[in-house]
Amino acid sequence: MANKLISEIPLPKSIANVFSARNISTAKDALSLTEFELMELLDVGLTEVRSALSQISEIVAPPYQTALSLMEQRFQNEHLGGHFPTGLKGLDAALCGGIPFGVLTELVGPAGIGKTQFCLKLSLLASLPTNYGGLDGRVIYIDVESKFSSRRLLEIGLRSFPEIFQMKEMAQEMAGRILVLRPTSLAEFTQSLEQIKVSLLQNQVKMLVIDSMAALVSGEHEQGARRQQTLSWHISFIKSLAEFSRIPVVVTNQVRSRNHDDASRYSFQVQSRDGAIETPMQYDSHLVAALGIQWAHAVTTRLVLEAKSGERFIKVAKSPISPPLAFPFHITSSGISLLSDDGKEVMGPEINAIHCQGSFPQTSENAGHNEIINFGMEGLL
């Protein structure tokens, strides 16, 4: 509505002609200026400017909606605002169905914890026919760190859906639906974004995976404000892709060591009796998500994968529809599996803490596989 033409708004003809003569053609153009800037530019009085702005605002401002009407719209348009099941029963229940459409879902955790394993399983599920719980479409998988493993993908498929992946033709079709891109720099990734937007429409793409965004940014030499400006553009574009295509967009993120400046950034911090800020360092976690607070605000759902005392957990750290819950999981030949569907509620600073304590079995996420799918191999594996 901000791009609505001034000529389409029923303003008095005299003021409409002045707007046109000064090349103020859209509502956005008019509302971007202050009253005094418009007075000077249009050479009219304050009363006329306020009256015009009031009429423009009334026309372009979105109408109020009740919670009931929004709920009714959601039920009517579930295919546009639904959720994609992950196959992890407890997690799906917590997220009201799974990974949400049209927004960013982030997987964050230390190296080797299982982020790429999760992405592989989600990509495979999205490629499956709808009668198997899939989206029956293609997946664009942006593999920044060359961790995508076609061999592991087929193994997960064979163990999870043997009735499909034991048939060579079906396995080829499912694997052929996953389109892997490997940008070597942020500039290369930027150039491919517009092509991705076109592909989302032309190629029936049903999911976008970026593994990982942090690796793209960390490979650049820019620092400080300039780096944040670059990241801001990419955040906006990726969010627009999600909203435009109404598909699940999953992005992995790395962790970094907490520094002193992080002490004032988290809302869960409290003050002690002497007024000093108690920092999360006191809560046995020195790791935080990379990419900063601007990125954290951009993601709608944040799932933290962490390890404590040798056991892995997947934690709903941020969600508009779920309380903070943690689920123990392990990684098997069929991918990520929950050890319990009953999530444990997480309280206070533990919501945003990221643990990496004790040893846990390493996964192919560390191996950096680069295999090309070869269906001539015995048993497809």
- What is the domain partition of the chain in residue ranges? 13-60, 79-263+279-374
**pLDDT tens digits, one per residue of 22-77:** 989 898 888 888 998 999 999 999 999 999 998 888 888 777 778 877 667 665 55
Binning pLDDT at 50, 70 and 90, where does residue 1 land?
low
**pLDDT tens digits, one per residue of 309-347:** 889 999 999 999 999 999 999 999 999 999 999 999 998
At 214 the pLDDT is 82
Q: Report the candidate in 301, 294, 279, 300 with the shortest Cα–Cα distance to residue 353.
A: 279
The mean predicted confidence, pLDDT, of the chain is 81
Q: Dmax over Cα atoms in the chain, in whole Å? A: 82
What's the CATH fold of domain 79-263+279-374? Rossmann fold (3.40.50)
What phi, psi does 222 have (nearest 5°)?
Answer: -65, 145
3-state secondary structure the chain: CCCCEHHHCCCCHHHHHHHHHCCCCEHHHHHCCCHHHHHHHHCCCHHHHHHHHHHHHHHHCCCCCCHHHHHHHHHHCHHHHCEECCCCHHHHHHCCCCEECCCEEEEECCCCCCHHHHHHHHHHHHHCCHHHCCCCCEEEEEECCCCCCHHHHHHHHHHHCHHHHCCHHHHHHHHHCEEEECCCCHHHHHHHHHHHHHHHHHCCEEEEEEECHHHHHHCCCCCHHHHHHHHHHHHHHHHHHHHHHCCCEEEEECEEECCHHHHHCCCCCCECCCCCECCHHHHCCCEEECCHHHHHHHCCEEEEEEEECCEEEEEEEECCCCCCEEEEEEEECCEEEECCCCCEECCHHHHCCECECCCCCCCHHHCCCCCCCCCCCHHHC
Least confident of 29-33, 122-126, 257-261: 257-261
More confident residue, 1 or 92: 92
Range among 120-129, 241-250, 251-260, 351-360 with highest mean pLDDT value: 120-129
Binning pLDDT at 50, 70 and 90, where does residue 379 land?
very low
Q: Say if CB 150 and CB 179 are below 8 A apart.
A: no
Q: Say if CB 189 and CB 149 are below 8 A apart.
A: no
